[in-house]
Amino acid sequence: MKTVEYRHGPVWVIAEQIEGRVRAVSFQLIGHARKLADGLGTPVEVILLGESLDQQAQQVIASGADRVYLGDDPELAVYQPDVYTEIIVKLAQERRPEIMLLGSTFMGRELAPLVAARLRTGLTAHCIDLVLNENKILEQKVPAYGGLISITCPQKRPQMATVAKGVFPRPELDTGRMGEVVLLKVQKNIPRRIETIEIVREEPEGVPLESAAIIVAGGAGASDLEGWHTIAGLAQVMNAALGSTRPAVDEGWTELETMIGQSGKMVSPDLYIGVGLSGELQHMVGIVGAKVMVAINSDAKSPVFEQVDYGIVDDCRRFIPVLIEKIGEYRSEGRELNHGNQDER
């Protein structure tokens, strides 16, 4: 086997699978890892832990990986923190990756800091972009304070980051791509202090945010639970999914699952209506490629109005009920109109 010397260690992606299928965010990360690796002149290596994943390993290669470290064992079927961490840390100490990327999923958010602390390296949360600077250092872009900050990990390796689903596009599959699958020998005696007994999947109610054509999102401007229900009422009338900002979640008006943005969900609706929210970048980066954007906010100077197509300055608790009523009127008139047209025909 020929040996190639690389100046930099490989770019790693820790892939995540659910019930034997690699998740979309992992493929998206592999696509971006390919670009970073090409910039560094180094291979992309993917760590894939689970059970019966041969086919999936081929897809990972077709997505841009040069090498897949495959841990294929019933013990690894579901995420087990101690075992997963141990396998990844041991391999990282051997392979010395330059960069390590994980999805900002529930697993990634726990596993990434467990690995980072063991390797005594830095970790950046929920990045919205990752680029190499002129010194080949990874600039990890994160929204903060109405702007973007760039976080780097200049000394320690690997440079680690988590990224939400939807930040990077899914790479096209190149089924002709060649890559190597390295089977990991799974150590049987890793001591477990935590054991996942059961995973329960719950189907979310209503229109799922990620695939919704229309999203109504509410924020702190709802003021109270009643105000929040008013906003939820607009979502219902518009046949829209209901989204939220962090303050709305913190206030307890809605669940974390509805949060849109950097540390929540990335969405791409045709129409987005932001109600009682200030256009914080952490939220706004979660809305990708919306065709039409509307904001309703009582503060005329709110930064949200610089980021939408239509703006209305009003207290949402008073405006939304009027809007809902007018939509009802519009629809009933519309129906009469259509009815009239049919009569003519």
Partner 1 sequence: MLRIVVCVKAVPDPKEAGRIRIDPVSRALVRADLPLVLNPLDKNAMEAALELKEQFDAHLSVLSMGPPPAESVVTECLALGADQGYLLSDRALAGADAYATAYTLAKGIEKIGPADLVLCGRASSDGSTEWVGPELATLLDIPIVTMVKEIVECTGEWWKVKASLDNGYRVVRVKLPAVLTVTRELNIPRTLSFSGIIQARRKQITQWGIDDLDVPEEAVGLKGSPTIVSEMTTRESKRDVEMISGTREEMAERLIQELADAGFLSSS
What is the sign of the dihedral through the CA atoms of 204, 210, 216 and 222? positive
Q: C-alpha dihedral over 116, 117, 121, 123, to 10 degrees?
A: 50
CA distances from residue 22 to 55, 90, 169, 196, 336 in whole angstroms, order as listed: 10, 22, 15, 19, 50
Interface with partner 1 in residues 137-156 (CB under 8 A): 139, 143-156
193 binds partner 1 (CB under 8 A): yes
In the complex, the smallest distance separating the C-beta of residue 289 from partner 1, rounded to whole angstroms, is 11
206 binds partner 1 (CB under 8 A): no
Q: Using CB under 8 A, which of the segments 52-60, 166-174, 180-188, 200-208 binds partner 1?
A: 200-208
In the complex, the smallest distance separating the C-beta of residue 294 from partner 1, rounded to whole angstroms, is 7
CA distances from residue 176 to 47, 58, 104, 231 in whole angstroms, order as listed: 21, 10, 30, 50
8 binds partner 1 (CB under 8 A): no
Interface with partner 1 in residues 298-327 (CB under 8 A): 303, 305-314, 318-319, 322-323, 325-327
Interface with partner 1 in residues 44-73 (CB under 8 A): none
198 binds partner 1 (CB under 8 A): yes
Q: Is the peptide bond before 10 cis (omega within 30 degrees of 0)?
A: no
Nearer to partner 1, 10 or 122 (CB): 122
75 binds partner 1 (CB under 8 A): no
Q: Using CB under 8 A, which of the segments 38-46, 49-57, 175-183, 280-288 binds partner 1?
A: 280-288
> Which residues does 326 contact at the CB level (< 8 Å), separation at least 6?
none
Q: Which of 202, 205, 343, 344 binds partner 1 (CB under 8 A)?
A: 202
Integer Rg of the chain from CA: 23
292 binds partner 1 (CB under 8 A): yes
Question: Tokens at residue 158, please?
Answer: 């690997």
In the complex, the smallest distance separating the C-beta of residue 92 from partner 1, rounded to whole angstroms, is 14
Token look-up 């695939």 returns 211
Which burial class, exposed, middle or buried, applies to 326 when counting CB atoms under 10 A from its CB (0-12, 13-18, 19+)?
exposed
Question: Tokens at residue 81, please?
Answer: 């923190």
Q: Using CB under 8 A, which of the segments 6-14, 52-60, 102-110, 181-189 binds partner 1?
A: 102-110
Q: Which of 113, 166, 170, 233 binds partner 1 (CB under 8 A)?
A: 113
DSSP assigned state of 105: S
* 153-192 footprint of partner 1 as x/- string (CB under 8 A): xxxx------------------------------------
Closest by CA to 273, choosing from 237, 234, 302, is 234
Number of residues that bind partner 1 (CB under 8 A): 94
In the complex, the smallest distance separating the C-beta of residue 249 from partner 1, rounded to whole angstroms, is 7
Q: Which of 19, 52, 291, 336 binds partner 1 (CB under 8 A)?
A: 291
Q: Which of 278, 286, 316, 317 binds partner 1 (CB under 8 A)?
A: 278
Closest by CA to 284, choosing from 231, 219, 211, is 219
Interface with partner 1 in residues 119-138 (CB under 8 A): 120-126
CA distances from residue 278 to 83, 144, 221, 240, 290 in whole angstroms, order as listed: 43, 14, 8, 20, 18
Q: Using CB under 8 A, which of the segments 47-55, 68-76, 175-183, 328-336 binds partner 1?
A: 328-336
Interface with partner 1 in residues 227-256 (CB under 8 A): 238-239, 246-247, 249-250, 252, 255-256
- What does the angle CA 12 – CA 171 – CA 165 come to, to the nearest 5 degrees? 70
Closest by CA to 93, choosing from 199, 12, 190, 4, is 12
Cβ proximity of 53 and 17 under 8 Å: yes
Nearer to partner 1, 186 or 312 (CB): 312
